[in-house]
Amino acid sequence: MSLPRCGMPDITATPNPNPNGLSSSPENYSYFPGNPKWRKFNLTYRVTSNPPNVAVSMNDLRQALSNAFNTWRQNNSFTFNETTGLSDIVAGFQRLSHGDGSPFDGRGGVLAHAFAPQDGRVHFDADGHSNDSNAVMAPTYAGVRRNLRQDDKDGLNNLYGFQN
């Protein structure tokens, strides 16, 4: 877990001082500079078309996003609805230098990056996955389903004022 998971750096050297007393220990969540947040709770998302030769189908990406948004929705007041038009969040696969100032490094490195709320871009590295279904880097696999940890919930509560 010492390798980067995404192209945007985590800030974990200084834990959050837990100003709201949300739990008994300091938090490890961090925010983008200036603590930007969504100004509404009903968010829309859309999936952009894939570049050629991507191991993940558009339907698989839609399903993965739907599952992830459902996990988030269960833990706060946000709702997420897919649309084909203008949207708050735009997700899709990209390759190498793709115009956002944060180029991907190809296979074996950074897998994804996302931008702060109000920007809403979420990019996945089209070359960071394997077509081998047995590989660790396979685009989909059956296994542990991740749930939000208390620290994730506390970060949302701190930023938006949600109650557990």
Q: Which residues are annotated as part of the binding site?
A: 6, 88, 98, 100, 105-106, 113, 123, 125
Binding region for Zn(2+): 6, 98, 100, 113, 123
Spatial CB neighbours of 37, under 8 Å, sequence gap ≥ 6: 117, 159, 160
The token pair that represents 41 in the structure block: 């709770």
Residue 49: what residue type? S
Binding region for Ca(2+): 88, 105-106, 125
Write the CA distances from 57 to 50, 108, 139, integer angstroms: 8, 20, 9
Ranges of beta strands (E only) in 26-152 are 42-47, 79-82, 89-94, 112-114, 121-125
The distance in angstroms from the start CA to the end CA of the chain is 28
Residue 133: what residue type? S
